[in-house]
Structure 1
Amino acid sequence: MKATEEFYRSYIDCLNSRNLERLSDFIQDTLTYNGKNTTAKDYKESRLAEQKAIPDLFYHIELLVTNEDTIACRLNFNCTPKSEFMGIKPNGNKAIFSENVFYKLKQGKISSVLSLIDMDTIRKQIG
């Protein structure tokens, strides 16, 4: 397994284990998320908010392509939001959706995240 793939799988393990104190091992102190500047602290708080809204949130890697400084991944989710998620008030139903996400690495850590989630699919299921 390539080093970048191992790095990414460890990052996903960090998210799935809810061990967000380790996020600093994976992300730069400042990074961009969908073109907007953010800090590691804000990125962590966003992940915490997602976990609070979706207690059964689990990142399942469907497809993963890596090279030295770029990661492309399709993540699958099958979860039940309990409180507002991405501006949608849940109705108690399960949400099954995918995220296509691209990462750039700088000095061995994530410096940029580009994420695309099919919000219409989520709205139809839980909105």
Structure 2
Amino acid sequence: MQREEIIDAYREYIACLNAQDWSNLQRHVADNVEYNGRTIGFDGYRDMLVEDFRAIPDLSFNIAFLVCDPPMIASRLSFDCTPMGQLFGMPVNKKRVRFAENVFYEFRNGRIRIVWSVIDKASVAAQISNYAGQYGL
């Protein structure tokens, strides 16, 4: 795939996630997808995303910036959301949090085959600590 094709495919993938269009996700993600060094397969990847939306009903993937060097694409995703209970093992409990994810993808045969994700969990922890301090929790 050429650079512009990968960028377009990635933007379509993000739109698919935000629409929670699970029936079309396989158009974007390979059957044997790897996530952070582990082969979880398409079903595992889809289940992970479905669970993310269950835990965070107002979840929205927002591209802050994008860099593409085929077959790789890198994105900084920004999130501004209200998780229902825990997020990354921290008690968020319906408090609004903002954080970012730096994620790298490798495309093969037109679909995402490998994903490396690093989420700014320290930012979430700082916000929770801030809430606790403000409200004496």
TM tier, smaller: over 0.9
Contact 1:93 1:125 in 2 (8 A): no
Q: Find out whether 1:113 has 2:115 as its counterpart.
A: yes
Query: Could you tell me which of 59, 64, 76 is aligned with 1:74?
Result: 76
Query: Which of 31, 39, 45 is the aligned partner of 2:41?
Result: 39
2:133 counterpart residue number: none
1:61 to 53, 63, 82: 63
What pairs up with 1:94-113 in 2 under 5 angstroms?
A: 94-113=96-115
- The answer (yes or no) to whether the contact 2:92–2:128 under 8 Å persists in 1 is yes
Question: Structure 1 unaligned runs (5+)?
Answer: none
User: Counterpart in 1 of 2:54?
Assistant: 52
Residue 22 of structure 1 aligns to a residue whose secondary structure is helix
Instruction: Give the structure-1-normalised TM-score.
Output: 0.93
Superposition TM-score, scaled by structure 2 size: 0.87
Aligned to 2:134: none
Q: Tell me how far apart the structure 1 counterparts of residues 128 and 13 of structure 2 sit (CA, whole Å).
A: 28
State the structure with more CA Rg. 2
Aligned residues: 127
Q: Structure 2 counterpart of 1:13, which letter?
A: A
SS in 2 for 1:2: helix
Amino acid at match of 1:62: A
Gaps of 5+ in 2: 130-137
RMSD over aligned Cα atoms: 1.4
Give the aligned residue type for 1:9.
R
Equivalent AA in structure 1 for residue 29 of structure 2:
I
Give 1:83 shift: 2.4
